[in-house]
Structure 1
């Protein structure tokens, strides 16, 4: 035991960086990409750290990758706290300058990230050119606890964990079809008429959130002829004029080739939540970007609610 304690005293932050990335990604190759090193370097640093501590931190297998042992889970808590302290110290000294700087990674739902968030973030980085931002518009949740992102925009409110969150905005979805579709099929005058039309929907067992499974709850007894895990794929499929799709208004309304169907009768309202870990929420770049995202969401309420097809911008 005394030998292990002595070796623990020789640890440094660089050792813990490698450990944290492997713990979060569960793959040496994925950790290597995030650290910008070769995967053999990551594996070697993990072995050296385990030797320094006199314990095994990961169970390793080809199938499951690097899985934390009990000692690994204990070290993770300490390493995570060290990382937070390093970030806070760096921010404190960086804060002595006037300019905003640093890196931020934002996870978002796919449609919102591509159609709304990216153009707004482009305006932000044009003004704050010492801030670099990764936008992750993916059809699944990103993990704040694993530091896959510093901030997240999600369909569901975080239920547990050390997070700060707020409701970013409401948004609406409506049923849309292309103008070509209606030229061939004719007008739809009642909800009952829809049972004769093909639809585009999510792959139910692969949907990352129950909030996405709104088609059959909104329009019962209809059939999807095409399914996709991607709302952007559904958007482009609807433009081909062969089926109808429920789409976010902020995606569909700006496109004159898409026409809302029974807009007063078929409407779905959902919410976006903005969240961040407590330990990074007070960083200047996070505070500034957080306030900016809330401002642009407020300024674009008509677009998000399907009342306008025009995007508004706010001075960052």
Structure 2
């Protein structure tokens, strides 16, 4: 019979894929992790990891054990809630939040810094991808997205919304003139996404305003687009939460061009009541309500 405690070592190595970060999380040295994994494989008489130059990859048996071990972990973490016991301590541990690059870099990262200061035992890992992270496969614990993700046993709720507007730099507007009407936009240069690399169509928000005749710069990165606009490249449709961070950006036709996107907060029902996950979802829910004005008004 194997040692149940070895499952903790197994889970951390499976999640990180390398000895050093797993050991750091467990507050032990690399050799301890390696030894405990070897003992678990010996006790189970099966190979759980494929050792390679990049680290450790789960074998077929390892994938099967990962599903079981993670289920055991979540049930253990939810015991206080299932028994109706009061929270005995501040939430602690790692919570992985997935979101889009723009809102992660220009808004959420600063807010999570506030959360870290208030709850030092909580570590948020903010993951950004152009596509939606799969919560069902546990690629993340929580998702903040512009479209509701699909998947079995997901708790998805609308948590708020944000506004987008056209922005340019004073340098650009001085050189080219400020548009006075929507029709004037046809004579201007634009910054936009790369058409064939847009993974989530609602992110290609400029098309809701117009199909620009002259795009002078494209990028898959919203941060890169904003930097280009601030440098005088042209006009772009940007979220207020990001544009407000750069004083070089000036609104263009703010009363006429109004675009909004909803914010969805999602979590898998298996972990929604785990203390650390619940603390982050509550923080995000309260944040989007409290800062609705910042997200939607100039």
TM-score normalised to the size of structure 1? Answer: 0.76
Unaligned runs of 5+ in 1: 1-8, 309-316
- Of the structure 1 ranges 72-81 and 110-119, higher mean CA displacement relative to structure 2 is found in 110-119
Does 2:149 correspond to 1:158? yes
Query: How far off is 1:294 after superposition?
Result: 1.8
Match of 1:12 in 2: 4
Contact 2:99 / 2:143 at 8 angstroms: preserved in 1? Answer: yes
Contact 2:18 / 2:56 at 8 angstroms: preserved in 1? Answer: yes
Query: How far off is 1:282 after superposition?
Result: 1.4
SS at the partner of 1:279? coil
Query: How far off is 1:58 after superposition?
Result: 4.9
Match of 1:132 in 2: 122
Contact 1:104 / 1:285 at 8 angstroms: preserved in 2? Answer: yes
Q: Aligned equivalents of 1:104 and 1:62: distance in 2?
A: 26
Contact 2:91 / 2:279 at 8 angstroms: preserved in 1? Answer: no
Query: How far off is 1:123 after superposition?
Result: 3.6
Query: How far off is 1:180 after superposition?
Result: 1.5
Give the alignment partner of residue 159 of structure 2, picking from 158, 168, 192.
168
Unaligned runs of 5+ in 2: none
SS at the partner of 1:281? coil
Does 2:218 correspond to 1:227? yes
- Of the structure 1 ranges 137-146 and 259-268, higher mean CA displacement relative to structure 2 is found in 137-146
Contact 2:176 / 2:188 at 8 angstroms: preserved in 1? Answer: no
Seen in structure 2, the aligned counterparts of structure 1 residues 16 and 97 have a Cα distance that, compared at 3 Å, is closer
Residue correspondence of structure 1 range 1-316 to structure 2 within 5 A: 9-13=1-5, 15-24=6-15, 46-58=37-49, 66-69=57-60, 71-89=61-79, 99-105=89-95, 106-126=97-117, 128-136=118-126, 138-140=128-130, 141-145=132-136, 147-253=138-244, 255-305=246-296, 307-308=297-298
Query: How far off is 1:129 after superposition?
Result: 3.8
Q: Aligned equivalents of 2:271 and 2:257: distance in 1?
A: 40
Contact 1:173 / 1:247 at 8 angstroms: preserved in 2? Answer: yes
Contact 1:22 / 1:28 at 8 angstroms: preserved in 2? Answer: yes
Query: How far off is 1:258 after superposition?
Result: 1.6
Aligned CA-pair RMSD: 3.5
Alignment coverage as a number of residue pairs:
296
Q: Aligned equivalents of 1:182 and 1:216: distance in 2?
A: 22
Query: How far off is 1:228 after superposition?
Result: 2.4
SS at the partner of 1:114? helix
Query: How far off is 1:177 after superposition?
Result: 0.5
SS at the partner of 2:156? strand
Q: List per-residue Cα deviations over 1:85-144 (Å, max 9, x = no partner).
A: 232247789x65665231342333232233332343344444x44542325152444454
- Of the structure 1 ranges 44-53 and 24-33, higher mean CA displacement relative to structure 2 is found in 24-33
Q: Aligned equivalents of 1:130 and 1:256: distance in 2?
A: 32
Seen in structure 2, the aligned counterparts of structure 1 residues 204 and 20 have a Cα distance that, compared at 3 Å, is farther
SS at the partner of 2:179? coil
Q: Aligned equivalents of 2:31 and 2:216: distance in 1?
A: 47
Query: How far off is 1:236 after superposition?
Result: 1.8
Q: Aligned equivalents of 1:184 and 1:41: distance in 2?
A: 64
- Of the structure 1 ranges 38-47 and 240-249, higher mean CA displacement relative to structure 2 is found in 38-47
Query: How far off is 1:266 after superposition?
Result: 3.3
